[in-house]
């Protein structure tokens, strides 16, 4: 028995020594790091928040106040934009891969080859110039007031692609109350974040559900009666509940009552994630939401909700230049659902019977200005 006990003791001692040696030779554990894909904090500007704050050193020197705000918001919204340069042609946005998009032409500069600017096809600077009123502000929308409806197609093509194959190859699935459609990656992620806020709201307020019926996302098409592409062609726009939320070609009302009565909780949920709402246009498109985080960012700066990374005197200058947007209360009444019409150039009463709803059936969201 003593010999057996001695043998067991020696074996246990050998095992303990081996474990100690292995522990001392193992590499130390890596320190914990924050996830690079962490969701942005609630209340920030959608995808822009995920890119982090921009340092003052990131802002090019020599920009006027408006250009400084624009560049800040463009960088926040689209991290592939690296800097801005100036030459005889004007000011250029420079992408990380070296591509350039004209931000603003120099006075007297000859138009670029292939440039087709018009009332609605404009430079990047002009596309961001009109102040967008964040919820709950819904000022009047007289003729000519359509913030975000003017677009830089050079910027859209640089960001999302120039062909249906290029744009379509990058689309991902987005969700809204159990419904699915495909959008560009950043727009899809923004919709998914909005869905997190809207789903419990819709569960508590059943009146919201009829206004959240998905009716079209990506579709490579031109706007009815025009040569320019719809924002649906870039995977950044979607329509919801066209049978309730109408648009200006279907109605002679200017303005439309639903521009004020459309539920603010829906508009605010999407604006918080970088979408603008077509209900704030003179040529209203109440069903239409469009991912334009740079415009939402600029609205937040103008309204003092987001500071710029700059010295105090310059910041004050920007605040003084901020436009005064009158505030109107948003009413909460909602019309009863009606039969869903096709979104075409004709009013619903003149349209043929609707075809089955498919994702490629987009809205005519940007038709010519109303007479």
Query: Within 10 Å of residue 97's Cβ, how many Cβ atoms?
Result: 8
- Here the tokens at position 205 are 């307020």
Per-residue DSSP letter, 58: G
Rounded to an integer, the average pLDDT of 174-191 is 97
pLDDT of residue 309: 83
User: Under a CB-based contact definition with an 8 Å cutoff, are residues 197 and 176 in contact?
Assistant: no
Could you give the 3-state DSSP secondary structure of residue 172?
Answer: strand
Mean pLDDT of the chain: 78
Q: Evaluate whether 202 touches 212 at the Cβ level (below 8 Å).
A: yes
pLDDT band at residue 55, thresholds of 50, 70 and 90? confident
Closest CA to 159 of 128, 189, 182, 184: 184
pLDDT bin (cut points 50, 70, 90) of residue 343 is low
Cβ atoms of 197 and 269 closer than 8 Å = yes
Measuring CA to CA, how many Å separate 354 from each of 12, 244, 342, 351? 82, 15, 6, 8
Mean per-residue pLDDT, 270-295: 97
For residue 46, what pLDDT is reported? 43
pLDDT of residue 327 exceeding 90: no
* Better-scored residue on pLDDT, 116 or 93: 93
Spatial CA neighbour of 236 closest among 184, 306, 304, 172: 184
CB 369 within 8 A of CB 119: yes
Cβ-Cβ contacts under 8 Å for 40 (sequence gap 6 or more): 46, 47, 49, 50, 193
Phi-psi region of 94 (alpha: psi -120 to 50; beta: other; left: phi over 0): beta
Percent of the residues in the chain that have a pLDDT greater than 90, as a whole number: 59
**Confidence check: pLDDT of 86 > 80:** yes
What confidence tens digit (pLDDT) does each residue in 188-197 have? Answer: 999 999 999 9
User: What angle in degrees, to the nearest 10, is found between the helix axes of 264-271 and 185-204?
Assistant: 150
- 223 contact partners, CB below 8 Å, separation of at least 6: 229, 230, 364, 365, 366, 367
CB-CB neighbours of 42 under 10 Å: 11
Residues in the chain: 371
Name the range with the highest mean pLDDT among 242-256, 287-301, 317-331.
Answer: 287-301
Q: How confident is the model at residue 111, as a pLDDT?
A: 83
pLDDT score for 44: 41
Q: Is pLDDT at 344 greater than 70 in this prediction?
A: no
Better-predicted residue by pLDDT, 356 or 223: 223
CB atoms < 10 A from the CB of 307, how many? 12
Q: Does pTM top 0.85 for this prediction?
A: no
For residues 2-17, average pLDDT? 45
Q: Which of 33-42, 229-238, 250-259, 354-363 has the lowest mean pLDDT?
A: 33-42
100-105 and 172-176 beta bridge pairing:
unpaired
Check residues 330 and 119 and name the one with the higher pLDDT: 119
Residue 224 has pLDDT above 70, yes or no: no
Inter-residue contact 170 to 218 (CB < 8 Å): no
Q: Which residue has the higher pLDDT, 166 or 10?
A: 166
How far apart CA 188 and CA 359 sit, in angstroms, is: 14
Decide if pLDDT at 323 tops 80.
Answer: no
With beta carbons less than 8 A apart as the criterion, state whether 277 and 267 touch.
yes
How does DSSP assign 77-109, residue by residue?
H-TTEEEEEEETTEEEEEETTS-EEEEEEPTTP
Q: Tell me if 364 sits within 8 A of 249, measured CB to CB.
A: yes
8-17: average pLDDT: 45
Residue 362 has pLDDT above 50, yes or no: no
pLDDT at site 132: 98
The predicted pLDDT at position 216 comes to 86
In this prediction, residue 38 carries a pLDDT of 32
Average pLDDT of the segment spanning 80-104:
97
Structure confidence at residue 58 (pLDDT): 80
Q: Mean pLDDT highest for which of 55-64, 92-101, 313-322?
A: 92-101
């Amino acid at each position: 028995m003593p010999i057996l006990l001695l043998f067991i003791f020696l074996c246990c001692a050998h095992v303990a020594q081996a474990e100690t040696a292995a522990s001392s030779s193992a590499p130390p554990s890596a320190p914990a790091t924050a996830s690079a894909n962490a969701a942005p904090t609630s209340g920030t500007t959608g995808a822009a928040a995920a890119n982090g704050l921009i340092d003052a050193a990131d802002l090019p020197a020599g920009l006027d106040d408006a250009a400084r705000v624009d560049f800040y918001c463009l960088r926040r919204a689209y991290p592939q934009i690296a800097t801005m340069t100036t030459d005889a042609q004007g000011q250029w946005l420079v992408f990380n891969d070296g591509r350039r998009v004209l931000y603003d032409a120099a006075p007297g500069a000859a138009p670029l080859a292939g440039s087709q600017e018009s009332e609605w096809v404009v430079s990047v600077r002009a596309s961001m110039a009109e102040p967008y009123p964040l919820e709950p502000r819904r000022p009047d929308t007289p003729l000519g007031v359509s913030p975000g409806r003017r677009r830089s197609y050079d910027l859209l093509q640089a960001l999302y692609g120039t062909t249906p194959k290029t744009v379509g190859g990058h689309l991902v699935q987005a969700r809204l109350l159990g419904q699915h459609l495909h959008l560009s990656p950043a727009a899809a992620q923004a919709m998914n974040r909005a869905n997190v806020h809207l789903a419990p709201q819709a569960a508590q307020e059943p009146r919201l559900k009829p206004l959240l019926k998905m009716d079209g996302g990506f579709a490579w098409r031109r706007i009815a009666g025009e040569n320019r592409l719809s924002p649906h062609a870039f995977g950044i726009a979607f329509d919801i509940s066209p049978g309730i939320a109408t648009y200006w070609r279907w109605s002679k009302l200017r303005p439309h009552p639903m521009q004020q009565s459309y539920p603010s909780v829906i508009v605010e949920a999407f604006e918080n994630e970088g979408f603008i709402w077509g209900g704030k246009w003179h040529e209203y498109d109440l069903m239409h939401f469009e991912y334009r985080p740079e415009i939402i960012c600029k609205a937040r700066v103008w309204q003092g909700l987001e500071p710029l990374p700059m010295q105090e005197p310059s910041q004050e200058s920007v605040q003084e230049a901020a436009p005064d947007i009158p505030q109107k209360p948003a009413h909460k009444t909602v019309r009863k659902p009606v039969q869903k019409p096709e979104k075409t150039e004709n009013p619903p009463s003149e349209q043929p019977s609707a075809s089955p709803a498919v994702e490629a059936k987009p809205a005519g969201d940007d038709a010519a200005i109303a007479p």
